[in-house]
């Protein structure tokens, strides 16, 4: 794992995710999964950008099948956001970084009030709390 991304497993799941005082983003993945390899650098970039405000971890579903089964993981990559040990939202499959950032922003605005922290990170993609910049009218 690179940088701020935590390698999650059966031994540290309780402490790192369920008992975390910060929101936690978990990428459920497997080494044989092509789409998981595509999204891995995106997850690492997001972890660096979010810094200490959010924990970001990866859980290898092949090595930790009990946790994957507990959360109903049937397709990978699956990304789950946790707060206070509870699932807040889920995304399945590869998604562009911009779409994931918008999803995080929306979720964080509603749940964690991190708006002042996240808006500067997403400025190129989101100019208001409502989504992308308005389209220009050509009429």
Catalytic residues: 33, 36
The per-residue DSSP string of 3-39 comes to TTEEEE-TTTHIIIIIT-SS-EEEEEE-TT-HHHHHH
CB-side neighbour CA atoms (13 Å) of 74: 1
| Cα dihedral 71, 10, 108, 111 in deg (nearest 10) | 70
């Amino acid at each position: 794992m690179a940088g701020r991304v935590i390698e999650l497993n059966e031994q540290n799941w309780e402490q790192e995710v369920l008992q975390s005082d910060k929101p936690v983003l978990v990428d459920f993945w497997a080494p044989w999964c092509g789409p998981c390899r595509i999204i891995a650098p995106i997850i690492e970039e997001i972890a660096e950008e979010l810094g200490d405000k959010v924990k970001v971890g990866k859980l290898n579903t092949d090595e930790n099948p009990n946790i994957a089964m507990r959360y109903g993981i049937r397709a990978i990559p699956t990304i789950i956001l946790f707060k206070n040990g509870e699932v807040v939202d889920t995304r399945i499959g590869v998604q562009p970084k911009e779409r994931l950032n918008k999803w995080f922003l929306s979720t964080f605005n509603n749940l964690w009030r991190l708006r002042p922290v996240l808006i500067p990170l997403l400025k190129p993609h989101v100019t208001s709390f409502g989504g992308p910049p308005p389209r220009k009218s050509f009429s």
